Structure formats: C-alpha cells, structure tokens
Amino acid sequence: METELTHEELTAEALQAEELIGKFKSMSYQDLLTDIFRHEKEVKGIDWAHMVVDESLSPFQIREKANKQAKIYLRELQAELKLTDEELPDFTRQFLEKTYSASDVQVMPAWAISPEEAKEWKEASGEKLKEMISYRLKIMQSLELTSSPAGYAQLMLSIGILAWMKKAYNIYSAARAAGLLRLASVVKAIKGVTLQATKMFVATIILAVITEILLYLMEKDAVVYMVLINMTDDDLKLNDQYLTHGKQKVQFVNPAEGTHEDKTLIKRSVTDLGGGEVDIAYWTGLYVAQKKDMALYGSQGAFRFADCNSYANGAYVGWEIPLTNTFFSGGPNRCLVSANHEGNVGDFSNKTDKHGSLLSESSNSVAKVVGKMHSRKGSEGYMSVIFEPQR
C-alpha cells in the first residue's frame, strides 16, 4: 500500500518523535507545567510566570503585555518561515489584526481527533483530565521544534490529532479514501497546507489561547477549561448562553476558514475506505470562562445547543467554579449537563449551582451527554463534555 513516506522519514524523525513522547509521558503534571513555562521563556522569549508576579501591572496590563509579546513572536515566526500575510492561516491573521481588549472572547477553531483519542477523553476523570491537558500542551510545544512532516505527524497522532485545520482534514480524508495509512495521510495533509502554515496555526493556538489560560490558572482566577467532543451525526450550534458570574474568554467555532462567528461544534466526519470500513474523526472544541477582575464571586454559567435530531430540546451544559479561601465565597466545583431539559440557560445555571456534581450524565432515546469536572474544589476546573449517540 502506498505510504508516500521515504524510509528516512519513517526512521530518523519518527524515532525522535517517539523519544519525546516517552519522555513527556514519564513527567508529572507539575514537571510538565514547569517545562512548558521553560520552553516559552527559552524558545519564545516570553516569561509568563514573571508577568503574573509583576505587582506593577494590573490584571488587564498583564494580559495586554502578554498579547503584545505573543504577536511579536508570531511576526518573527512568520518571517522565519517566509510566509506572506496571504499565506497565513485565517485564524492567525485574525489574531494578529485584532486589537486587544479586556472584554475579548478568543475564538478557537475545532480540530479533528481520532476515535482512540475520543475514547481516552471519555474514560478520563479526576486528575487524569488535568494531566491530559498539560501533556497535550507539551506535545504541541514540541511541534514548534520539529522540522519534518513525518516527525510532526507522529507527534500529532500521539495525542490523537488528525488535522488542526479543516482544509488539512479534507486532504487527510481524501488520502485515506485513496488507500493511504493514517500516518501517511496526516503527512500528506501537512504537506498539502504546508508545514509552515501548520506551525503558524499551532503557535497561534498556544499563544492566543493556551498560554493565556495558564496565566489564569497561575492566578487561581476561578477558571473553567472545558473540552467538548461531538460524536453525533448532528452539528451542535450554540444558540444561547448565560453567565451568572464571571466572563467568557475562549469560544469554540466552526473549523472552516472564515467562519469564526459560527459557534458550531460540527458533526463527526466519516470517510468510506471501501470493503465496509470507514475512517472516523470527531471534532473537539474549547470553551473557557473565568471570574471577572476584582470580583468576589467565581465563574458560573450555562450554554445551550440548538434543537437537532440528537437533542430535540437542545443540549445544555452548566458549570460552577467558586472562589476559594475567601470570606465571601467558596464551595465545591460543579458541572451539569442535560439531553432533555426544558427551560432557559439562566435557570440551568441556577440548577447547576443546586444540583451540579463532578459527574453528570443525561440521555434521551437518541443521544446522551456526559460532563466531568476534574476536582471537587479549587479555583481551577478542568472539564470534559462528550456528546454521543445511543448506539
């Protein structure tokens, strides 16, 4: 079967990738976090940890400075990769052109993952959720230092990523339908959109979304970091949300270029391989909310996906991350989901406050939804939400 990979590509770079994967898997959460910040400082020249403890800067000034340094690095990377503005991913171009504001909600296009990766998220709970996120960030950082499409693909697949961009997934899907194996198909997709553009896209994810989230986590700023996976055959369109306390910071959007106002977690993608076999990809999105600056309350809210075949009354997701160690507030982290709730999102947010827990499951005759929160308390909440059919 055609692989389109040379022996050299399948050995040197792939073996190097395997060594990195083994190294990162052996590291603890705290060691990974320390190494993540080391990498940012040494490779990008951005000292995120120092920003947080700089008492001369307000929370807004810290994020404004972080945003400015992120853009400086991306422009330097663009020059190094010899990409014109027209060759930049739409996601990167939008980030570079947008003036920073404290009220900004950063969009994050959904990305395609393998069934094996989806299964790992489904089975994870407790501290495993937090560890999975830090490990995946470390792998993403290592992509910045990888110069071969084969090595790059190997690292992507180690965290179940089939494609970062929709047009890359389309190339991947066509390659699978033509008989290429998964690794070869990922390599073909990377080459199709170019390794340079892929590097810019991933660097933008880290700088525009992930590292800013880490600032919130270091400050213990009552942040919920939510990973959502759509395993159904319906596009899930977010049509309403309500924040009882706090503010939204990151919003998943349709992965297609130029659709960054479309708050849709698209349905699973299925490629016919012939002979009764199929290749499946699920689309994963991020949603992040935190407390407001100087607020005495944490983060609490809910959102609703529109009615569809899988969820006739829509699907609801709620969360609460209280502040801790304060005179005014405190309490357990909570999440709540529903596949058949009837009512508005404000009511569902209040219901989360009263009835939420670390594990929430709900189903109807067609589909179910499962929400998990990683810990009972603390101002950081790692959460997963899985939408899947009743098979």
Q: What is the 3-state secondary structure (H, E, C) of 209-268?
A: HHHHHHHHHHCCCCEEEEEEEECCCCCEEEEEEEEEECEEEEEEECCCCCCCCCCEECCC
pLDDT (tens digit, 0 to 9) for every residue of the chain, 391 residues total? 344 555 565 566 667 777 888 888 888 888 988 898 899 889 888 888 788 778 888 878 888 888 899 999 999 999 999 999 999 999 999 999 999 887 889 999 999 999 999 999 999 988 888 888 888 989 999 998 888 898 899 999 999 999 999 999 999 999 999 999 999 999 999 999 999 999 999 999 999 877 666 666 566 667 889 999 999 999 999 999 999 999 998 999 999 987 888 999 999 999 999 999 999 999 999 999 988 766 667 899 999 999 999 999 999 999 999 876 544 445 689 999 999 998 999 999 999 999 999 999 999 999 999 999 988 776 778 899 999 999 7
Q: Which domains does the chain have, with CATH numbers?
A: 7-212 (no CATH), 221-246+291-389 (2.60.270.20)
Give the pLDDT confidence score for residue 5 in this predicted structure.
Answer: 53
Tokens representing 326 are: 């304060």
Q: What angle do CA 82, 88, 89 make, to 5 degrees?
A: 145
> What pLDDT is attached to residue 58?
82
Residue 231 in tokens? 């395993």
**pLDDT value for 327:** 46
Are 297 and 323 within 8 A, CB to CB? yes
Question: Which two three-digit tokens encode residue 52?
Answer: 């947080």
* Number of helical H runs and strand E runs in the chain: 14, 15
- In angstroms, the CA 112 to CA 342 distance is 31
- Residue-wise pLDDT for 11-29, tens only, equals 666 677 778 888 888 888 8
pLDDT at position 213 is: 67
Q: Give 325-359 pLDDT, tens digit per residue.
A: 544 445 689 999 999 998 999 999 999 999 999 99
Distance of CA 328 to the CA centre of its chain: 32
Pairwise CA distance, residues 12 & 271, whole Å: 30
**Degrees (nearest 5) of the Cα angle 120, 181, 111?**
45
CA-angle at 159, arms to 52 and 44, nearest 5°: 35
Closest by alpha carbon to 255, among 201, 212, 203?
Answer: 201
Decide: pTM greater than 0.85.
yes
Residue given tokens 């400050």 in the structure block: 219
pLDDT of res. 3? 45
